[in-house]
Amino acid sequence: MNHDLVEEAALRPAARSGLTGPVLAPAVSTPVAAVRTPQGAHGKVRVAIVHDWLVTYAGAERVLEQIVACFPDADLFSLVDFLDDRTFLRGKTATTSFIQNLPFARTRYRGYLPLMPLAIEQLDVSAYDVVISSSHAVAKGILTGPDQVHISYVHSPIRYAWDLQHQYLQQSQLTRGPKSMLARLVLHYIRNWDVRTSNSVDSFVANSAFIARRIHKVYQREADVIFPPVDVDAFTLNEQKEDFYLTASRMVPYKKIDLLVEAFAQMPERKLVVIGDGPDMQKIRAKATPNIEIMGYQPFAVLHDRMRRAKAFVFAAEEDFGISVVEAQACGTPVIAYGKGGALETVRDLTHPQPTGLFFAEQSVESIVAAVEDFADNPRRFIAADCRRNAERFSAAHFRERFFAHVRAAVPKMQGASLPAFDAPPADTHVPSANTPRILAVDQTGVLGGAELSLLEIMKALRARAEVVLFDDGPFRTALDQAGVTVNVFESGALREVRKRGGSVPKWAAFKDIVALVRAVVKQARRADVIYANTQRAMVIGALAGRFARKPVVWHLRDIVTSEHFGGKQLAIIKWCAKLGLAHVIANSAASKRAFVELTNFDSKRVDVVFNGISAAPFDALADVPQATLRALLNLPQQGFLVGSFSRLAHWKGQHVLLEAVVLNPHMHAVLVGAPLFGEDDYEATLRAFVVNHGIGDRVHFVGFQNDIAACMRAVDVVVHTSITPEPFGRVIVEGMLAQRPVVAARAGGVVEIIDDGVNGLLCTPGDAHGLADTLAELRANESLREQLVANGNRVARQRFGPGNYVASVERILKAVAG
């Protein structure tokens, strides 16, 4: 399948909150049974899913994501697996081939094409009843037996070995010479192998009728058509169109962006906006005239905004399917497309009673100009709501229903089986497997901060194989006790005064306390297979203890290790520990990973990105509690637009920016949930003095430390995140989404890995009080925008940041490190 959109999209406060007083609702949910692979009359059906390679999240991987959702207990196989974020796979890791361990495989796996047929045949799936291959290269060549059902979802037969061979050789500059001859021999071998292995497939599924015809041409086999899933819910309908046309794609030759630019150059009265980047960028820029805006690569929020407002989306490529064409229609935007390939199946032309676009017959400037002129003569022929309804035929839910039904019909054991619920969270019922290692988790504090809440999720799930060491007592120890986790507290003494920015602890006192802590952890580690350090001070002690106890150490990195957050001595210690005793690092965002690798030169292959997992249960438990009840319990005004900040009171968390915005916006109240923790009492005093000096005491509410974050968030109208330096993750953002409140956050660090600006939240410049005030004023006035952000935010939080994926990913890494 072609991956045709240029789109990429992007969470932590330390103090949590909780209501004192009457209990509103239980903070636990009814246990949800883990979704299992469907069973028929003959017992459990064992399913294996085979994918070509796992290196990114693009079009083929979107299909794989939905196949995994249909069969959540299936095992996964792939030639290579180099994913950093495997959230979309529900934390699964793949059994890989020998190519995984070949030199430069992470970046140059395609260069091993001659070995791929052999490699895919070495993957052993003989223990499974059903084998599902997701194939655009060699996955369909997996070896299966006569008692197994092999269903192959084909994105395309190997295009560069079949009809695009000559184009591939030309682009690779392999048209003549010895290398060309070798390449042609390899492709000839691949073609023969490709045809032969098609005989082992029991049922073909194509992503379009266009690909079904290609399958018939190449393999002489029929294929059912199930269109690939498009995330139409991420795109919102807009019926008010503006006077410009849009195209968006990777700038490569077959996309024909240059033809579109040349065509609009001949229509100076019509504006074209071009989004995308690629090898042809300079050539396309050179052809652009003043009526053509070349925007280059843009994040998803910008793409979404232009798609919603464009008069029409123009598309000149011959695609197998064409996701962008469907996404444009999901925005209510009609399409002007080349009348060949997948567009013929996704766009309804003027012969349909509810048309969603029109076609041009040739990939030529003249044909494009004629089609645009035809569209411009009467754009009222196309109704935005009709475009949206057409796009909904390609939703992910529709894909799951059709694909599961196809598999069920092909597998006798599955007759009568039902499709598993898509969003059933497995987190609270996670059972560690027999080979889960014995884990010693180490944390530096007893305070219930964001890092500790994230560790709590893991320990609740893995408590049968884990125990925790804390360097301080407090609410975190109580929470672990209540969850049935074994806890030991070893006082940190003078080390308690050490801060990220440094401290004035006497050297002898620090040395003595370090020795004591290391000895205590070494003693506990003798019963463990792996030491799992959750915070920076815990990592230092853990790294030393790991050397003495001869145990591997995994650090769960929850900070951006730069001079903005850490002092020079602390950064030097982190570099030293990375070399001394870290076997692996789990980063809570790509931003955290980048900073750590840049600081330490640590092998990036030994750093995995795992987004924090946050349970929706406390938020769901309050779904029927009126907001007025929650406000009364917190002594908040019943009327007014309440904006909530949820974190410890610290300068870098930026609560002062929110107060400055309150001064600028007289219709807004600020609710500050949290307290100063690490010697930051002076900052709270500064905030209170600012409130008094500016006369906003009636609109600023300090509610202090609270335990019930869900109740506090549902009491306000908007959740804000105002950190003035990059946040490693931003847990409060996901919590706000689960509380079904619109979220406004500072554009930096891991935050941009959670929020698509304008889609599931809004982003502001860090430290910009005027920008924050304007954004909040817009939210207050725009109810439809608030509803859109809430719906999209809640969906993203549940799908991408559920605790099930989080726990499974961490458990997988600890297993691998423990060996």
pLDDT digits (tens, 9 = 90+) for 782-792: 998 999 999 99
Q: Which of 339, 333, 368 is nearest to 351 (CA)?
A: 339
pLDDT band at 428 (very low <50, low <70, confident <90, very high): very low
Distance (Å) of CA 386 to CA 389, 587, 753: 5, 44, 33
**CA-based nearest residue to 380, from 237, 235, 241, 238:** 241
What gap in Å lies between CA 556 and CA 19, rounded to an integer?
A: 30
Q: 20: which 2 tokens?
A: 């004192």
Residue of 685 and 28 predicted with greater confidence: 685
Bridge-based pairing state of the strands 312-315 and 245-248: parallel
> Could you give phi then psi for residue 430, rounded to 5 degrees?
-65, 130
What is the per-residue pLDDT for 329? 97
pLDDT on residue 33: 30
Q: Give the angle subtended at the CA of 125 by the CAs of 121 and 130, to the nearest 5°.
A: 120
Q: Report the alpha-carbon distance of residue 499 to residue 678 in Å, rounded.
A: 8
Report the pLDDT averaged over residues 236-261: 91
- Is a pLDDT exceeding 50 seen at residue 464? yes
List Cβ neighbours of 11 (8 Å cut-off, separation of 6 or more): 588, 589, 611, 612, 614, 727, 729, 730, 731, 732, 733, 734, 750, 751, 753, 754, 801
The per-residue pLDDT for 657 is 96
- Average pLDDT, rounded, for the chain: 86
CB 92 within 8 A of CB 121: no
What is the residue whose two structure tokens read 């637009």?
A: 641
* Nearest CA-CA partner of 613 in 473, 729, 759, 484: 729
Place of tokens 């005989």: 199
> Which letter, b or e, does each residue of 69-108 get, where b requires 16 or more Cβ atoms within 10 Å of its Cβ?
bbbbbbbbbbbbbbbbbbbbbbbbbbebbebbebeebeee
CB 331 within 8 A of CB 236: yes
Looking from the CA of 654 toward its CB, the CA atoms found within 13 Å total: 24
Distance of CA 126 to the CA centre of its chain: 33
- pLDDT, one tens digit per residue, over 143-161 is 999 999 999 999 988 877 7
Confidence of residue 383 (pLDDT cuts 50, 70, 90): very high
Check: CB of residue 320 under 8 Å from CB of residue 1: yes
- The helix (run of H) or strand (run of E) holding residue 789 is helix 783-800
**Residue owning tokens 């069973």:** 39
| Residue 461: both structure tokens together | 């799930």
How confident is the model at residue 333, as a pLDDT?
Answer: 97
Nearest to 709 by CA among 719, 699, 723: 719
Looking at the predicted structure, is the pLDDT value of residue 694 above 60?
yes
Please report where in the chains the tokens 């605790």 appear, as a residue: 803
Kindly give the interhelix angle for 536-549 and 568-581, rounded to the nearest 10 degrees: 30
Q: Is the pLDDT at 7 greater than 70, yes or no?
A: no
Q: 641-646 and 668-673 as β-strands: parallel, antiparallel, unpaired?
A: parallel
Residue 58 clears pLDDT 80, i.e. is over it: no
- d(Cα 748, Cα 753) in Å, to the nearest integer? 9
Comparing C-alpha atoms, which of 482, 534, 450 is closest to residue 733? 450
Q: How far apart are CA 538 and CA 457, in angstroms?
A: 18
161-216 pLDDT, tens per residue? 777 677 767 766 778 888 888 888 888 888 899 999 999 999 999 998 889 999 99
- Alpha-carbon gap, residue 813 to 428, rounded angstroms: 19
Structural domains of the chain, ranges and CATH numbers in brackets = 39-225 (3.40.50), 232-394 (3.40.50.2000), 434-613+808-817 (3.40.50.2000), 617-781 (3.40.50.2000)
Residue whose C-alpha is closest to residue 13's, from 751, 597, 541, 571: 751
Neighbours of 791 (CB within 10 A): 14
pLDDT tens string 333-346: 999 999 998 899 99
| Higher pLDDT pick, 23 / 716 | 716
Given a cut of 50, is residue 382 above it in pLDDT?
A: yes
**What are 356-364's contacts with CB under 8 Å, separation 24+?**
356/329, 356/382, 356/386, 356/387, 356/390, 357/312, 357/329, 357/382, 357/387, 358/334, 360/336, 363/256, 363/259, 363/316, 363/318, 363/338, 364/259
Pairing between strand 39-40 and 43-44?
antiparallel
- pLDDT bracket for residue 17 (50, 70, 90): very low
Check pLDDT > 60 for residue 625: yes
Q: What is the pLDDT of residues 389-424, one digit of tens each?
A: 999 999 988 999 999 999 999 999 898 888 987 654
Sorting pLDDT into bands at 50, 70 and 90, what band is 507? low
Block residue for tokens 């409130």: 691
Question: CB of 225 within 8 A of CB of 209?
Answer: yes
Strand runs (DSSP E) across 498-648, as ranges?
530-533, 553-557, 584-587, 607-609, 641-646
Q: Report the alpha-carbon distance of residue 653 to residue 671 in Å, rounded.
A: 14
pLDDT per position as a tens digit, 215-226: 999 999 999 999
Under 8 Å between Cβ of 52 and 60:
yes
Segment of 80-89, 483-492, 798-807 carrying the highest mean pLDDT: 483-492
Rg (Cα) of the chain, in Å, rounded?
Answer: 28
Q: Is the pLDDT confidence value at 347 over 80?
A: yes
pLDDT interval class at 432 (50, 70, 90): low
CA torsion angle 368 370 373 379 (round to 10) = -80
Provide, for the chain, the percentages of residues in helix, strand and coil under a 3-state DSSP scheme, each rounded to the nearest 5.
45, 15, 40
**Of 284 and 251, the one with more pLDDT:** 284
pLDDT class of 250 with cuts at 50, 70, 90: confident
Over residues 271-282, the mean pLDDT reads 88
Residue 187 backbone class (left: φ over 0; alpha: ψ -120 to 50; beta: rest)? alpha
State the pLDDT confidence band at 508, using cuts at 50, 70 and 90: low
Quote the strand ranges of 32-118, DSSP E: 39-40, 43-44, 47-51, 75-78, 95-96
Reduced to 3 states, what is the DSSP secondary structure of residue 4? Answer: coil
pLDDT at 430 over 90: no
Tokens coding 599: 């600081």
Note the pTM of the prediction, 2 decimals.
0.53
Q: What DSSP string runs through 146-195?
A: TTSEEEEEES-S-GGGTTTHHHHHHHTT-SSSHHHHHHHHHHHHHHHHHH
Find, among 96, 818, 22, the residue nearest to 462 by Cα.
Answer: 818
Cα–Cα dist 357/319, whole Å:
16
In this prediction, residue 465 carries a pLDDT of 87
Residues 470 and 444: their CA atoms lie apart, in Å, by: 6
Q: Which amino acid is at 329?
A: Q
The DSSP letter of residue 499 is B
Question: Greatest CA separation found in the chain?
Answer: 85
Q: Are 226 and 154 in contact (CB under 8 A)?
A: no
